[in-house]
Amino acid sequence: MLEPQTYPTMVAKALVLDDEPFTAMIEDDNPWVEGLALTVIVSLIAGTAQTIGGWLTTLSLPDATTVENALVTGWRQFSAATALPPAVTETIFTRAWSAAAGWTGYAGGWGVLTPLIATPFLAIAWWLFFAVVAFAAARALGGHGSLNSTLGAAALMVAPQVLVFLSIVPFVTVSGALLGVWGLLIGYRAVQSTHHLPWRKAVLATLIPYAAALIVVPIIATAYVLGFSAGGFR
């Protein structure tokens, strides 16, 4: 049975690498469901905070079109003073600006809602990927935990996302390195607790999903670019 009332305590204790939340997740009657619920709730709140914060940041800055005009004017003067080809560089600048302003939501539109969808989606995708690969690696290294328990314990990796709740205030930036490294530490504790591995093997089993991601992500990105350039997704 889902116990969302325990999530704040579990997240807080996972952040200090306490044993209790990992044991609770492993011994839960349905670890993967509890893990999914925890990941969805935390990442959805984080995504909402980022969306509201992004919207407030946009409001606290001047209008995007006015800023673009000021930049283009400055760029034309700069090109004239430095003998750069103004037409070419201006086209590149305008395209880059419209892409960045659109994607971040600075220029208005739906871009501001990107974190609301992207944050939970990425959190769930990473949780599943990490848990499955770490489970396989841990088993290969002599661990004896189940996939269900690994999924439950690894869901606590979402805990550092509570810091992203602060992004509701404009200009608050939570370091990606902080979230990533803290998540890695919690992932290590999850693997160690689930599979009862010695620390060297637990470190290896934790790092293998990261190494695998370094291979898989560029392959997916290349496939996407090739598909897009071949006329797909249009």
Residue 150: C-alpha distances to residues 49, 80, 179, 186, 195 (Å): 28, 61, 20, 12, 8
CB closer to another protein, 148 vs 187: 187
| Stretch near another protein under the rule CB under 8 A, chosen from 32-40, 54-62, 139-147, 150-158 | 54-62
Q: Is 5 in the site for another protein (CB under 8 A)?
A: no
- Total of residues contacting another protein (CB under 8 A): 41
Kindly state the smallest distance separating residue 233's Cβ from another protein, in Å. Answer: 33
Q: Which residue has the tokens 């009862």?
A: 196
Which residue among 9, 91, 98, 222 contacts another protein (CB under 8 A)?
A: 9
Q: Is 207 in the site for another protein (CB under 8 A)?
A: no
Tokens standing for residue 131: 């848990």
On the CB side of 70, CA atoms within 13 Å amount to: 6
CB closer to another protein, 36 vs 205: 205
Q: Rounded to an integer, what distance in angstroms lies between the CA atom of residue 164 and that of residue 176?
A: 10
Which residue among 173, 214, 219, 220 contacts another protein (CB under 8 A)?
A: 173
Q: Is 30 in the site for another protein (CB under 8 A)?
A: no
Which residue among 86, 102, 111, 170 contacts another protein (CB under 8 A)?
A: 170
Q: Is 113 in the site for another protein (CB under 8 A)?
A: no
> Between 59 and 88, how does the x/- string for binding to another protein read (CB under 8 A)?
xxxxx--xx--xx-xxx-xx--xx------
Contact 109, 103 (CB under 8 A): no
Contact 104, 54 (CB under 8 A): yes
Q: Rounded to an integer, what distance in angstroms lies between the CA atom of residue 64 and that of residue 233?
A: 28
Tokens standing for residue 45: 């709140």
Q: Rounded to an integer, what distance in angstroms lies between the CA atom of residue 146 and that of residue 53?
A: 39
Which residues bind to another protein, rule: CB under 8 A? 9, 12, 15-18, 20, 56, 58-63, 66-67, 70-71, 73-75, 77-78, 81-82, 163, 166, 169-175, 177-178, 181-182, 184-185, 199
